[in-house]
Copies of this chain bind each other. A is one copy, B any other.
Amino acid sequence: MPRKVITGFSNPTVKFVRSLREKKHRRLAGKFLVEGLRLLTDAREGGRLPEMLLMAQGRDEHPLLAELERAVEAAGGEVIELPIDLLAKVTGKDNPQAVAGVFAEWDTRLARIDRTAAPIWLVAQAMRDPGNLGTMLRTADAVGAGGLILLDDCVDPFSVEAVRASMGGIFTVALAQARWEEFEGWLRQAEGQLVAASLREAQPYRGAPYAAPCFVMVGNESQGLPEAYEMACDLRVTMPMKGRADSLNAAVAAAVLAYEVLAAVER
């Protein structure tokens, strides 16, 4: 299949891809943009291919890129070449990566989650920072968690910043989005321990009786978890706070706790 070549900034495809930097356009199209060969390769190896592959003219050849291109074409996707400065405009980066891809968003309903698939799950409530959200996806991958469940109004997990910070985690672990009420109902339908880092009637996080499947929950960056959510937990644990601050960064708290849970459920 001959590649499509685009050279003009006013091209509708260029305008469309560029629009995906904004959440409202991602929502409308149900698609998102991913930059860089590394992330695109993580996606392919995680079973996801871009519907559209954008490659800069004059790029260095790379076997992984050739493989990606073949896979996209075999799956009926579109492969487009364009000048590097046009790719820079599309991605909004001064030094763009030589390749980018447009993916269809996938189903993130809670019903898609199989809790028996992993001993640990991460849960973030009203998370506002895309870097924190992406970091939690990265941590979920590292601790062998099944995925990340986003509660209430979180920042868009398909934003460029979140995808980048996830370091491929967006493609390798499951992702679900739900309101608290829905999550609580779903959680209690089967076995599952809900754990939060908390200051309320909490026990030390080390050596606490964690049990798989364990759902490790952290709250909004500035508000923390609503009291009702904490009280609904099976276990509230507290990490030492030796200094003046009374909390950790949300993604850091999730990771410290998740590694402790991992040690416990592996014993």
Binding site for B on A (CB under 8 A): 42, 45-46, 131, 135, 138-144, 165, 167-169, 172-173, 206, 239-245, 247-249, 251-252, 255-256, 259, 262-263
CB of B138 within 8 A of CB of A248, answer yes
Interface residue from B131, B142, B245 paired with A243 (Cβ < 8 Å): B142
Q: Give 10 A-B pairs besides A143-B240, A144-B240, A167-B245 with Cβ atoms closer than 8 angstroms.
A: A45-B244, A135-B252, A138-B248, A141-B244, A142-B243, A168-B244, A172-B245, A248-B255, A252-B255, A255-B255
Listed by A's residue number, 14 A-B pairs whose Cβ atoms lie within 8 Å are A42-B244, A135-B249, A140-B243, A141-B244, A143-B240, A143-B242, A143-B243, A144-B240, A144-B242, A173-B243, A240-B262, A249-B251, A251-B252, A256-B256
Q: Which residues does chain B contribute within 8 Å of A143, judged by CB atoms?
A: 240, 242-243
Interface residue from B42, B45, B245, B255 paired with A141 (Cβ < 8 Å): B245
CB of B141 within 8 A of CB of A243, answer yes
CB of B172 within 8 A of CB of A142, answer no
Interface residue from B142, B169, B243, B249 paired with A240 (Cβ < 8 Å): B142
Cβ distance A213 to chain B, nearest Cβ, rounded Å: 15
CB of A142 within 8 A of CB of B248, answer yes
CB of A142 within 8 A of CB of B259, answer no
Cβ distance A132 to chain B, nearest Cβ, rounded Å: 9
